[in-house]
Structure 1
Amino acid sequence: MNRLKSPYRHVMAVTASALIGIAGALTLASPASAHHSEVKVTAQCDTAAGEWVTTWTVNSYAPEGVNNYQFTKAEATSVVNGNATPFTIDGIAVSEGDTYPHSVSEPVVGKARLSGDATEASLTVKARWDNGYNEKDDSSASIKFSESCDKVVTAPPAAANPKATVTADCEGDVAVKLENGAEATKDAAFTVTGTDGFTKTATVAAGKDTTITVPARNAAKITVTEAGQKAPIFDDKPAEAKDCVEPGEPIGSYQSTCDALIFQIENPKDGKTVTVTLTPNKGDAQTLVVKPGETKTATFKAFEGLTVAPRADGLDDASPVAWKKPTKCTRSSPSAPPEGGGAGGPTLPKTGAPAGLIAGGAAALLAAGAVLFVVARRRRVRFTA
């Protein structure tokens, strides 16, 4: 009897080992992409002490069922007179042993005071969650100080106390926050200058603030001046935003049928609203506003010599697209429409070979057409024919 059972036991053991190995691989692989940390920082100048008060916020993300975590790395550094010096942040520190003191559902917030001469500060962390998963990459945040934080004993008469904070977002646009200290005795007159001729001015009363947004196309370098200051308050390239997630890219296509020139814009669900204006050489322009998850078309009645020029924010190539009569058309080409009209409506042709071709929707257009444009994270548009 034992001789008969032995082979089956061997087969069962091998099968069980394989199943356990597969299950283990799936268990280890499935949660990895869901674990990550996010670090943010803000700062204020304490003029009474002449120190920067920095506030650091760490958020943790993990799969459902993972409740706590610890820091395995927490390195904070400030730069003073070109020298990097480590500093500690209350509440954000490496945990010893197998303790997991921080809840995934709540942010960890810590404060640190830095020298008023500090020009930059950063925090880098790594985490381990209570399911044993270790964060693979560093998560960090940094801040640059546009000026020194000086201790103010007595404000001079009729003097502004201007400050500027420059922050870029994931689209590349830059928010310039302009402040005039509460102790100021006059309004602060700011001028914000970007590239390619961008200039805006703002007057800020004592204890107030305002924000000027510099578009990404003008934000290669930003200079902030105040009328009462000899040197610029800020004169540099803004630091790029971190931990940005790129939106989905809208894709457009065009196709010539026997009767029309058809454009289609398809925007994925994770994209951003895109606006495209299509202007024919004769007739009325059509504008497509395509929200995430939508697909829209514009149809222009064909005639010999028809061209349509696409225009969108950041379009790299706005060259007109010409209608080309397909070789399989059996009837003569349509004549040009009268002046001032003739642009087709948004509906597609309903009869003949064109209707069958157009009914294919996105797949047909993309197969027979050409790529029109792709919108990237900074809303730049690439056009290729």
Structure 2
Amino acid sequence: MIRPKLSLRRPLAVLGAALIGLAGVVAVAAPASAHHTTITATADCDKRTGERVITWKVENSERDKAVTLKRVTSEPATDVTVPVRGATSVPLQGYVIEKRGSVQAVQRVPGDTATAKLTVFGKWQKNGKEATNNGSINLAADRSCTPAPKCIDASKAKYSHTFDGPKGTATVKLDGDLPLCGEGKQWFTLVSYFAPRPQFATPQYVYGTPDSDWIGGTQTEIELNVEIPDCHTQVDLIWGDGEQVIDPLVEGGKRYDNKKLGSPGAPGNRSKGVQGWYNGGDKSCTTPASTFASNCDGSVAVSLSNDGKISKYPVEFEIKGADGWSKKVSVAAGKADNSIVVPAANAGKIEVLVDGKVVENGTYSWQRPEDCPLPAVTTEADCKTFALTVTNPEGGLPVKATFAYGDKTETRTVAAGGSEKVTFKASKAESALVTLPDLDLELEAIYTPEGDCGGGGGGGEEPGLPVTGAAAGGIAAGAIALLIAGAVLFVIARRRRVTFTA
């Protein structure tokens, strides 16, 4: 009695470089007689074509007789052939299996085939015995065989990237060996911003021109570069083209969120690499500046500006003067403020600060302007008295004046727009000295009384001074001229003594 024989095999075989091993289950039909063939099978998947490749093995049961395979049928009805060295293949039908031998034949079936069956009718030589046997393989247990893709859909593509925020550079590369399918493209953009602080803060304004490029077709890697402002900045590598750029970034406004490459969510997480965003910069994106101008009355006019090349934000200035005087002023980007005046009482030392730091060239003290009108000194003299008057113009500071004649000294403070007069009793002293210490000036006045004092000296029994040399009328005329030019003489008398006659 011939018993049916079942054979189950799952070898992993490789057909060329493109076959991925898949297993099949084979059932062998019971032989009709002692003479029989045993049929087993394995299956692989050809990823190039998406076909299943079944390898049928047919064995001869007889030790002393060859068998000729007279008829071979298959389900699905595709060719079953035997590979032959040096030739493509030969049909399994008509093939002779030597005694106790076997043959392997190959059949290609569609990738979604669930089962396959092979039926063989054999006739043995010598005794002419015949037998029909069959085998089958179950392919449904394995996934269907599909061709290996030749491209990848843009919606499923993965990428990897590099990012250097401080330098404003990035690269993006398509992962794998497959290009994007068809006309598919994926855009990426690198953008830099002005920022108010080195940490994330708003508002932010785009600096320069964002750089956008795409991956698609034969272009599988791109490089992106942007300029970085010389101040606080944010740099972002984002998923999408330039239309995705947000300008400005404001409080409560739109954000890139997971569009930044390297983000935890889609689409940014479809690219592997470091986080594609950066905040930094060690200077403020403002250009605060101050200038000073001293006024003749002792006050100082302070001009504030915020209109430099990188000024994008308002600046909060603080102006500090002597004795605790302080004032805060906000100046918008691109603007200036010329309205600040530090009073004379507080102008001894002035500082202009931003964020608690003195701005460049932001320290100043009042200095007397060169074009301020100077006090004028006039004299009156007769045989009994010698009078000196200091007149201080309006719009200036009070000045201290010291009057010295002979052994007498008087000190006065002359208000702006006012005058002070000191009269001395005429003596033998030939000159008086007027000192203005606030201005580092001294003025010497020669005692020359009007009229003829009888040749006697002043201040005693013979008041007045003797007149010798030039005629008295000429001396008087010269004195008048000096009186008129007194202010001019005073201007050039800084740190030296000017002598004139009275």
Instruction: Please report the TM-score for the alignment, with normalisation by the length of structure 2.
Output: 0.25
Considering fraction of residues, name the structure with more helix.
1
Larger Rg over CA atoms: 2
Quick one: higher RCO (CA 8 Å, sep 6+), 1 or 2?
Answer: 1
Instruction: Please report the TM-score for the alignment, with normalisation by the length of structure 1.
Output: 0.30
